[in-house]
């Protein structure tokens, strides 16, 4: 099971109930989450290499929802954070720690552009914006 990872999916944005029901069904089928929270957060144990299913990534982007996907790493791969901001249509991937903090190498930390971008995404991860279903 060294290629399995615990992951967390946090969805952010505004969506109608009908579309959300479709996405929630997709999450249940693709991920079978172990913990679900009303605020759009899910914890999933045993995800192969900690990867978000492509179908789910595509659907979230298609309906205009932002998300944060984190994994706690495994044998041969480090913890990672994937973030997608639907309003800016931007995606970024970082090394992670504790499934919520962006980690930088010394070289990355010395790069002002990288630091600025990482700080912006860390603020996005920590923002209080959640999921609103109307």
Q: What is the pLDDT of residues 29-50, one digit of tens each?
A: 999 999 988 788 999 999 988 9
pLDDT score recorded for residue 2: 63
DSSP 78: -
- Average of pLDDT values for 15-25? 94
pLDDT score recorded for residue 40: 87
Which residues constitute the domain of residue 126? Answer: 4-133
How many domains in the chain? Answer: 1
Assess whether pLDDT exceeds 70 at residue 13.
yes
- Give me 26's structure tokens: 């997709």
């Amino acid at each position: 099971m060294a290629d399995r990872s615990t992951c967390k999916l946090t969805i952010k944005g505004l969506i109608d109930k009908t579309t959300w029901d479709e996405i929630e069904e997709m999450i249940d089928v693709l991920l079978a989450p172990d913990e679900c929270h009303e605020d759009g957060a899910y914890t999933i144990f045993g995800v192969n290499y900690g990867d978000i299913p492509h179908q789910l990534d595509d659907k979230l982007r298609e309906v205009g929802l932002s998300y944060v996907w984190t994994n706690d790493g495994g044998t041969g791969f480090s913890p990672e954070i994937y973030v997608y901001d639907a309003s800016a249509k931007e995606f970024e991937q970082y090394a992670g720690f504790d499934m919520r903090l962006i980690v930088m190498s010394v070289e990355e930390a010395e790069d002002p552009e990288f630091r600025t971008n990482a700080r912006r995404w860390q603020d996005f991860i920590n923002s209080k914006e959640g999921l609103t279903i109307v």
